[in-house]
């Protein structure tokens, strides 16, 4: 008999989005996750953001799993999260960590909430009677809350807590609480948990204008707010009302709004020599939203130092903000804000475009407050006994943003790595889950094995008889709002209701057995369960039903209290009960006509295909191969390594790509799970989910071969762009940054005698013609080359002509270093580009000096152009082979720019690295790790379990017009010309129902959402209320 392996358990500390993402990914593979958060709720910063660019709305729900949907929540993520394998423990802090990798013992301090969420009936009478009012932290003090409160208004379950610092212990809440949920004497508790691995996702502390000395000249009025507070001012659960943004001081509409960037960051004097990375996009989004939501006449002005639009789609968003929405951007460091006697805020600034000083008044000033990383890092370093690097941050391994140096089993993700945007938080969360999975595989931890409960068969032809089971919630008097006897009598009157049972409690252990006993006596064939929080208990309840002999697809759960309470202020018990009875009718009707659903399992071919042999490709191939997945690595050139691995010796942050590539290549060739195909391209692909067949063509021999695989990771990378501007190619003195880098490394370019070196940034980039995007790495390349030149020849004068220096995050220190080294940075704008002409064989560059405001002519000994990064041509072929999209710039288009950055719409297809957009080496490796994890999670399932609720085809009604094929957003429908029918890929289908509406013949329908059901529901909803009213 095989030894029983322990179930892999991971602690994820911090339940912001990256922590949640890491938890979901691990739970999907089948590991147990303990997700803790120091605050009373989950959601992190994103709980406060109703709007995220580029859609300017929320898309958080898109991070939920696409397959195996039944195991996880299927509702708005801002409410909460539910997954069978995730245990959520808010308001808990890690006090100590003992043991070593694979065997950690974690002491958790569970803070007292004073309200027991398992007893609370959520009627909130306690809140109504609480006499204490304090500023609400969630809304940054814009609104008030009581001492007993719900921290995030949209969370479900509500999870109330008492703020003991504000509480006067008057006991009013205890008196009105009928469920005994409040205990003012509650104490903090300690609990020790054993876990195999720990992921830190605790985010960073944000700069706070009240705490820091250097903010004093700004925070002069309540109308100077942080960017997060402004977010709450635009939220309807914050202070946004009547279509206007209200000024905190007097509630008047704010029309003229200014943003001041780099608040707390990019400040060397305060030892904050970093950029907070996200604030530029944050401010742009807020400025656009303010114009949209603030009513007519809103003016948005952003004062910035460099507008860092380095990510995918960022530059486009900036252009739209300026051109379509009319946001004003002014490059100027504002020194302070003055408060005028009438409350207006005065800003004095210098406009570099007109060279004039201005004094302008604003109604509201938003400070783009950055991160304060060090404290958080110090705390973790002490707790976990790990090292800090020279900057005071947690030391990660050299090429990884995720793995803590020298500490296997410990990983970080999200804003702990430095403030990240949503997309990077997602990638890092997945990558951290990937590292943890690799670690758990390594120590032989097992995944959760589900309890096999056989699915009872259903006879669909039988007349529907519904058994209604109402949960009394044990002795919890939460149900006092409902009269069970009356409700049960009302429901029994309804046709097709066979019986109404009242069950003591479904969720408690003994209650479950009792419920099974009662329900197995029944003669009914369908079951409707009325209980609380159905989204949390749905799967449990369905298991109970299954044990009692009901086919789980013929079981529905409704929220007994929720529906009754909807929209009612102070209902009487009778009103409430009648409302519930009324609402339940629709559920009964829907259940009556529900067909039994079948879950199918499609086998997945266990091979993975990785396209591209650069860093992204090699890393994902290795990561999969270590976990035992057979990988085929296809590279179009004659050697592995890609552009970076074959051309770049050193990067600005001290990495050595060429050496690293050599090292990785060796590992790739040594790994028996990896087959390398050089000089090879993917020509075309047939097949669908779980079973692809790709045609590989070898360029040299012209031979072809066919490869079967279940997943594919596209990591095609990119290369240095080309240009005809500035005489590139006509003179040896004009070259690209890549050429200079190579020349400096090999010694072919000698700078010992050179006097003037001019570098021009953004050549052919960030403009309407050519590359519209920022290539993200050129500023770092230019700085690296410039520093290298200075090192070789300190007397050389290096000029870098830039538009915005994109040294985001901790790259900022190299920008500072370059300026200290005497490298001269000159700003130019797109409408006044530098000009070049050759005079006596030397390039002469003419440009405007924006400080002196005069034109300068420089004879350059070397003119170096930053020509950006171009995607590979082969993306076109790949995109058409796998039917995925390309964006306008030729990069692969991911499923969702924020929430699903490394996936495509169809499961089994992933992307990583520069195929997505240009990015630095460490980010490529992180994305590759994330893509490998997604592919592993998918392949390790061995088969795709389709959801029961998927779309179907009634073949006899179908006229093969294929309109459903065209409308399906997931490509789940296709026309099978061999069989002459429409087929549905049940694993790709997300049951959105577009096809059912599009079909003119009712041939397409979604099981569980059929016309018959919906019609019956509409009828039930419109049925006269009188029919059900009790006879007095």
Please state the closest distance from residue 1021 (CB atom) to other proteins, in A: 4
In contact, 683 and 699? CB cutoff 8 Å: no
Q: Of 308 and 318, which CB lies nearer to other proteins in the complex structure?
A: 318
Q: How far is CA 298 from the centre of its chain?
A: 30
Q: Could you tell me which residues come within 8 angstroms of residue 242 by beta carbon, excluding any fewer than 6 positions away? A: none
Phi, psi dihedral angles at 658 (to 5 degrees): -65, -45
3-state secondary structure at position 35: strand
Please state the closest distance from residue 314 (CB atom) to other proteins, in A: 17
In contact, 847 and 836? CB cutoff 8 Å: no
Q: What is the DSSP letter of 295?
A: -
Please state the closest distance from residue 383 (CB atom) to other proteins, in A: 35
Please state the closest distance from residue 1011 (CB atom) to other proteins, in A: 7
Q: Of 26 and 42, which CB lies nearer to other proteins in the complex structure?
A: 42
Please state the closest distance from residue 80 (CB atom) to other proteins, in A: 11
Q: What is the DSSP letter of 872?
A: P
Please state the closest distance from residue 1010 (CB atom) to other proteins, in A: 11
Please state the closest distance from residue 246 (CB atom) to other proteins, in A: 14
Please state the closest distance from residue 1019 (CB atom) to other proteins, in A: 6
Q: Of 355 and 1002, which CB lies nearer to other proteins in the complex structure?
A: 1002
In contact, 54 and 60? CB cutoff 8 Å: no
Which pair of structure tokens corresponds to residue 1014? 């919906």
In contact, 219 and 210? CB cutoff 8 Å: yes
Side-chain-facing half-sphere of 324: CA atoms under 13 Å = 11
Residues that bind other proteins (CB under 8 A): 50, 55-59, 61-62, 74-76, 78-79, 122, 124, 153-154, 156, 158, 235-237, 241, 562, 565-569, 579, 586, 905, 967, 969-970, 990-994, 996-997, 1006, 1009, 1011, 1014-1015, 1017-1019, 1021-1022
Q: Of 215 and 289, which CB lies nearer to other proteins in the complex structure?
A: 289
Q: Of 111 and 293, which CB lies nearer to other proteins in the complex structure?
A: 293
C-alpha to C-alpha distance for 839 and 843, rounded to whole angstroms: 6
* Helices (H), ranges, 921-970: 921-940, 963-967
Please state the closest distance from residue 911 (CB atom) to other proteins, in A: 17
Please state the closest distance from residue 202 (CB atom) to other proteins, in A: 25
Q: Could you tell me which residues come within 8 angstroms of residue 552 by beta carbon, excluding any fewer than 6 positions away? A: 455, 542, 543, 545, 546
Please state the closest distance from residue 61 (CB atom) to other proteins, in A: 5
Q: Of 234 and 845, which CB lies nearer to other proteins in the complex structure?
A: 234
Q: Of 235 and 371, which CB lies nearer to other proteins in the complex structure?
A: 235
Tell the burial category of 120 from Cβ atoms under 10 Å away from its Cβ (0-12, 13-18, 19+): buried
C-alpha to C-alpha distance for 61 and 76, rounded to whole angstroms: 6
C-alpha to C-alpha distance for 654 and 398, rounded to whole angstroms: 9
C-alpha to C-alpha distance for 659 and 3, rounded to whole angstroms: 43
Q: Of 55 and 730, which CB lies nearer to other proteins in the complex structure?
A: 55
Q: Of 57 and 379, which CB lies nearer to other proteins in the complex structure?
A: 57
C-alpha to C-alpha distance for 215 and 265, rounded to whole angstroms: 11
How is the chain split among helix, strand and coil, in percent rounded to 5? 30, 25, 45
Please state the closest distance from residue 1018 (CB atom) to other proteins, in A: 5
C-alpha to C-alpha distance for 218 and 335, rounded to whole angstroms: 8
Q: Could you tell me which residues come within 8 angstroms of residue 872 by beta carbon, excluding any fewer than 6 positions away? A: 612, 636, 716, 717, 718, 719, 915
Q: Of 611 and 994, which CB lies nearer to other proteins in the complex structure?
A: 994
Q: How far is CA 485 from the centre of its chain?
A: 47
Please state the closest distance from residue 472 (CB atom) to other proteins, in A: 22
3-state secondary structure at position 200: strand
Q: Of 266 and 582, which CB lies nearer to other proteins in the complex structure?
A: 582
C-alpha to C-alpha distance for 545 and 199, rounded to whole angstroms: 36
Across the beta sheet with 862-865, what order do the strands follow? 734-736, 862-865, 756-760, 797-802, 824-827
Please state the closest distance from residue 629 (CB atom) to other proteins, in A: 29
Q: Of 641 and 901, which CB lies nearer to other proteins in the complex structure?
A: 901
Which of 460, 245, 250 lies closest to 342 in space, CA to CA? 250
Q: Of 332 and 911, which CB lies nearer to other proteins in the complex structure?
A: 911
Q: Of 239 and 396, which CB lies nearer to other proteins in the complex structure?
A: 239
Please state the closest distance from residue 729 (CB atom) to other proteins, in A: 43
C-alpha to C-alpha distance for 100 and 748, rounded to whole angstroms: 50
In contact, 314 and 774? CB cutoff 8 Å: yes
C-alpha to C-alpha distance for 204 and 898, rounded to whole angstroms: 20
Q: Of 799 and 899, which CB lies nearer to other proteins in the complex structure?
A: 899
Tell the burial category of 675 from Cβ atoms under 10 Å away from its Cβ (0-12, 13-18, 19+): middle
Please state the closest distance from residue 951 (CB atom) to other proteins, in A: 11
Which of 133, 91, 123 lies closest to 108 in space, CA to CA? 91
C-alpha to C-alpha distance for 1020 and 558, rounded to whole angstroms: 16
Please state the closest distance from residue 1002 (CB atom) to other proteins, in A: 9
Q: Of 723 and 897, which CB lies nearer to other proteins in the complex structure?
A: 897
What is the SS3 assignment for 693-712? Answer: EEEEEECCCCCEEEEEECEE
Q: Of 47 and 633, which CB lies nearer to other proteins in the complex structure?
A: 47
Q: Of 90 and 153, which CB lies nearer to other proteins in the complex structure?
A: 153
> Tokens 């245990």 label which residue?
87
Q: How far is CA 288 from the centre of its chain?
A: 22
Tell the burial category of 562 from Cβ atoms under 10 Å away from its Cβ (0-12, 13-18, 19+): middle
Please state the closest distance from residue 574 (CB atom) to other proteins, in A: 14
């Amino acid at each position: 008999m095989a030894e029983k392996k322990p179930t892999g358990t991971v602690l994820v500390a911090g339940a912001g989005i990256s922590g949640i993402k890491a938890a979901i990914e691990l739970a999907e593979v089948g590991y147990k996750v303990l997700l803790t958060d120091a605050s009373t709720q989950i959601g992190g910063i994103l709980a406060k953001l109703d709007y995220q660019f580029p859609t300017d709305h929320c898309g958080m729900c898109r991070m939920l799993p696409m397959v195996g949907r039944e195991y996880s929540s299927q509702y708005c993520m801002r409410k909460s999260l539910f997954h069978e394998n995730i245990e959520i423990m808010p308001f808990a802090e890690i006090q100590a960590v003992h043991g070593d990798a694979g065997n950690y013992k974690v002491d958790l301090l569970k803070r007292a909430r004073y309200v027991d969420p398992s007893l609370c009936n959520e009627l909130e009478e306690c809140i109504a009677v609480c006499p204490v009012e304090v500023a609400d932290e969630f809304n940054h003090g814009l609104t008030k809350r009581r001492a007993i409160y719900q921290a995030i208004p949209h969370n479900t379950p509500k999870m109330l807590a008492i703020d003991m610092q504000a509480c006067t212990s008057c006991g009013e809440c205890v008196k009105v609480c009928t469920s005994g949920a409040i205990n003012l004497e509650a104490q903090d508790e300690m609990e020790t948990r054993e876990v195999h691995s720990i992921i830190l996702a605790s985010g960073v502390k944000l700069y706070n204008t009240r705490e820091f000395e250097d903010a004093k000249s700004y925070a002069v009025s309540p109308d100077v707010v942080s960017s997060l507070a402004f977010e709450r001012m635009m939220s309807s659960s914050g202070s946004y009302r009547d279509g206007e943004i209200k000024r905190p001081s007097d509630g008047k509409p704010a029309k003229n709004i200014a943003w001041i960037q780099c608040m707390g960051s990019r400040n060397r004097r305060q030892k904050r020599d970093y950029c907070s990375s996200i604030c530029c996009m944050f401010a742009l989004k807020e400025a656009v939203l303010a114009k949209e939501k603030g009513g007519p006449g809103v003016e948005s002005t952003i004062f910035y130092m460099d507008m860092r639009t380095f990510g995918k789609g960022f530059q486009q968003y900036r252009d739209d903000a300026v051109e379509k929405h009319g946001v004003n951007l002014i490059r100027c460091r504002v020194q302070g804000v003055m408060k005028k006697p009438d409350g207006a805020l005065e800003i004095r600034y210098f406009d570099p475009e007109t060279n004039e000083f201005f004094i302008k008044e604003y109604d509201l000033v938003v400070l783009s407050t950055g991160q304060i990383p060090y404290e958080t890092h110090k705390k973790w370093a002490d707790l976990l006994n790990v090292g800090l690097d020279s900057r005071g941050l947690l030391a990660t391994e050299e090429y990884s943003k995720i793995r803590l140096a020298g500490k296997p089993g410990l990983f970080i993700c999200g804003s702990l790595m430095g403030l990240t945007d949503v997309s990077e938080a997602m990638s890092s969360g997945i990558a951290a889950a990937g590292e943890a999975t690799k670690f758990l595989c390594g120590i032989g931890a097992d995944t959760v094995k589900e309890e096999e409960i056989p699915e009872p068969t259903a006879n669909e032809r039988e007349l529907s008889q519904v058994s209604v089971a109402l949960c009394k919630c044990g002795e919890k008097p939460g149900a006092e709002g409902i009269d069970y006897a009356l409700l049960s009598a009302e429901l029994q009157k309804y046709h097709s209701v066979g019986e109404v049972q009242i069950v003591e409690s479904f969720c408690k252990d003994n209650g479950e057995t009792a419920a099974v006993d009662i329900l197995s006596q029944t003669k009914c064939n369908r079951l409707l369960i009325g209980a609380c929080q159905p989204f949390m208990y749905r799967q449990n309840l369905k298991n109970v039903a299954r044990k009692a002999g009901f086919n789980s697809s013929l079981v529905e759960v409704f929220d007994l209290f929720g529906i009754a309470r909807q929209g009612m202020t102070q209902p009487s018990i009778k009103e409430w009960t009648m409302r519930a009875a009324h609402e339940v009718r629709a559920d009964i009707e829907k259940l009556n006509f529900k067909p039994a659903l079948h879950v199918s399992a499609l086998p997945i071919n266990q091979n993975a295909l990785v396209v591209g042999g650069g860093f992204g490709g090699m890393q994902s191939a290795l990561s999969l191969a270590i976990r035992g997945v057979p990988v085929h690595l296809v590279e179009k050139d004659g050697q592995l390594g890609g552009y970076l691995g074959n051309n770049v010796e050193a990067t600005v942050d001290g990495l050595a790509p060429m050496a690293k590539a050599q090292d990785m290549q060796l590992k790739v060739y040594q790994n028996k799970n990896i087959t390398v195909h050089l000089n090879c391209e993917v020509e075309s692909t047939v097949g669908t989910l779980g079973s692809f067949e790709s045609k590989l063509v070898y360029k040299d021999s012209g031979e072809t071969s066919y490869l079967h695989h279940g997943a594919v990771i596209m990591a095609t990378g990119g290369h240095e762009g080309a240009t005809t501007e500035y005489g590139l190619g006509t003179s040896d003195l004009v070259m690209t940054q890549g050429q200079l880098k190579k020349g400096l490394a090999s010694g072919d370019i000698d700078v010992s005698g050179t006097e003037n070196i001019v570098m021009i940034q953004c050549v052919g980039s960030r403009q309407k013609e050519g590359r519209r995007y920022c290539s993200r790495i050129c500023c770092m390349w230019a700085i690296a080359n410039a520093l290298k030149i200075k090192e070789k020849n300190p007397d050389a004068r290096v000029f870098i002509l830039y538009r915005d220096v994109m040294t985001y995050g901790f790259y900022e220190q190299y920008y500072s270093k370059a300026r200290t080294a005497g490298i001269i940075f000159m700003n130019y704008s797109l409408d006044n580009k530098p000009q070049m002409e050759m005079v006596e064989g030397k390039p002469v560059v003419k440009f405007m000096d924006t400080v002196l405001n005069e034109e300068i002519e420089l004879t350059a000994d070397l003119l170096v152009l930053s020509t950006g990064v171009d995607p590979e041509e082969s993306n076109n072929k790949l995109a058409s082979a796998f039917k995925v999209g390309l964006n306008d710039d030729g990069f692969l288009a991911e499923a969702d720019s924020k929430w699903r950055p490394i996936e495509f719409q169809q499961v089994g297809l992933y992307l990583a690295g520069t195929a997505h957009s240009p990015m630095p080496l460490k980010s490529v490796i992180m994305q590759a790790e994330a893509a490998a994890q997604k592919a592993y999670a998918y392949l390790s399932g061995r088969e795709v379990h389709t959801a029961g609720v998927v779309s179907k085809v009634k073949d006899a009604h179908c006229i093969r017009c294929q309109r459903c094929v065209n409308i399906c957003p997931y490509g789940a429908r296709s026309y099978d010309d061999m069989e002459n029918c429409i087929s549905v890929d049940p694993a790709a289908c997300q049951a959105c129902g577009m096809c059912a509406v599009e079909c003119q013949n009712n041939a397409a329908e979604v099981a569980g959402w059929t016309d018959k059901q919906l019609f019956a529901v509409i009828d039930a909803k419109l049925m006269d209320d009188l029919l059900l009213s009790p006879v007095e």
